[in-house]
Structure 1
Amino acid sequence: MFETIINWFLPKKEKDIVDTMNKFLIVGLGNIGAEYVNTRHNIGFKVLDYFAKKNSISFETVKLGAMAQYRFKGKTFFLLKPNTYMNLSGKAVHYWMTQEKIPLENILVITDDLNLSFGTIRIKPKGSDGGHNGLKNINLLLNTQNYCRFRFGISDEFKKGQQVNYVLGEWDEVEKEKLPERLEVASEIIISFGTSGIENTMTTFNGK
């Protein structure tokens, strides 16, 4: 209510700035298609699906993807699942960042990471693509590496030459059992990012 009153008296330009700073683009990386739904590479989609179900919101088909909106404490979270396939994820991120006028610092990209053990969380304010093709394309189209990313560990328990099959393979039984608890933590991270900021979120959740 107080925020609404402030916005009423602000000049239009300043209102736009306030509104923009309260918008967050949460991007879950993955591949579309039934064959990819339960694969390790699709953890970004899985996190957003869990968040949406928990908060009783639905995804709608939009340009370059599927999107759901969630409002909490004056913040608007745009949850985006690109439909461009992993290697072209940047196209959807760039489009919706521009369309909704979302600042670079309010973008959080959720992706799998082979270099982290299963379920390990690593949140960073910027960084290289680490060999991840989705991040590589986002870096290219945004022309920067300075956006926040949430890396979800999928481990590297595969034999030589089997990386692609492992990444595009489904979770094993032990991982399936532990996944719900990890998805709950991931859901908390999304809210924390929008309400507490990247630094506090890193302090609270990295290594949790």
Structure 2
Amino acid sequence: MNRRYFGRRIAAGLTAAVAATMMFTGAASAQPTDSVPAVDPTTAIAKLRTAAAGNPDAEAAIERLALSPTDAAAMDIALPGQIFQVPAYSDTGQGGPVLGQLYGAGVATNMSNQFRFGFFGGPGTIAADQAGAQLEVVYYSFATGASGVVKLDQNNVAVPTVISTPPVAGLGGGLVVAAVYGSLNHQVGPNIVKSTIWWPSLGSVLA
């Protein structure tokens, strides 16, 4: 990925992410916390490699991130609506020659002791019919060592541009790194549009 524009891509992605995440979580603000250390992307990718082992799609997604691990600075955490610090790019994303195919970003929530990963992005809204598409998140918990791959298939939330996982247990109430990859169907007018992520959304969050 071109280093010259990467910072601006992240900034644009996070700006777009704030409004959708606040709607998704019902949070009034998402300010960085000073009590939690930032995560080095190289460390995050190493942990996610372990979590992805044996899953070819997850392994391929992490290897794409590993091509430019230092392009993302150490990743600060925002609470309570936690936006993944590195946004996703897809074949249907928008942004022109500078931003490229900016698509959306991963999010995470921990409401009523139910931790979920989510994703929001365009175009249009999340389609009810996800046939032929599969959006997944690979994660690793620093608190417990728990890791895995979970499908994002809960698209009945109040915001029609957000899809999430079922609750994810066993993360230990600590630091988690995760990456969202795969494909997602969108409803654009009468048409179903499939978006395929070529640059996963990478984040460090608190469970």
Q: Which TM bucket (shorter chain)?
A: under 0.3
The structure that is strand-richer by fraction is 2
For the pair shown, the structure with the greater C-alpha radius of gyration is 1
- Normalised by the length of structure 1, the TM-score is 0.28
